[in-house]
Structure 1
Amino acid sequence: MHILVVDDDPLAGEMTAALLESQGHATLLAADAMEAVDQLDAHGDIGLIVSDMHMPLISGLELLAMLREQDNPLPFILLTGDTPDASLHQTPGLHACLRKDADLATNLATTVNQALEQ
């Protein structure tokens, strides 16, 4: 099972993938929402999506909405450099929104494990 990491910043995407891999997960990278869709089509073993919120053209939230419209039920975690808005946590189909901060490694590990257990 793979975790798909979607981030338009190559360094941030690689860092997120490295965190997940250090926790024993296999990852795939996508540089934008369209590449994420391509990865989902190409790999049937993706079990979770971790996406940056702020990306050009199609944001992480728009990617989530697009996938839910296509009846894709994969757990979806958003990452943001901003403080997540309280209403964001009420977004249908969103498992969690985590801040990219010093606690990301711990928070991401916990959240990914919770999402995969559901």
Structure 2
Amino acid sequence: MLRRSVIPILCALGPTLGACSDEPSETTMRAAALGFLNRAWEQQAATASLIGGARRIMPMPTVTSFHKLDCEVSQVAPGHVCTFEVSLDGKPPGRDKARFYKDVDGLVYMAVVGR
């Protein structure tokens, strides 16, 4: 009986405690961003290879820092639109915004949002 009354309270406090929320954690967002960066780099490398050969392929950048700033439920598609700061190759961090969503495979992915 006590268990049934505690769950709604935890869900009501979800934004504060993170309970009953599917908002991505910083770790999940970082993994999704790394996957996005890797897929984009692979596409760019394949295109560069076709145009100018393997010597024109730039090395994939390294994410040296990643920090979640805030998230809100997306109004146009499933998931959350989150703001984050990311630093590549030790350069000063830049701020960006993207949508993070869970796909049918259960993994969280990152998608670019309209500017």
Please report the TM-score for the alignment, with normalisation by the length of structure 1: 0.25
Please say which structure displays the higher CA radius of gyration: 2
Please report the TM-score for the alignment, with normalisation by the length of structure 2: 0.25
Q: Give the structure with the larger strand fraction.
A: 2
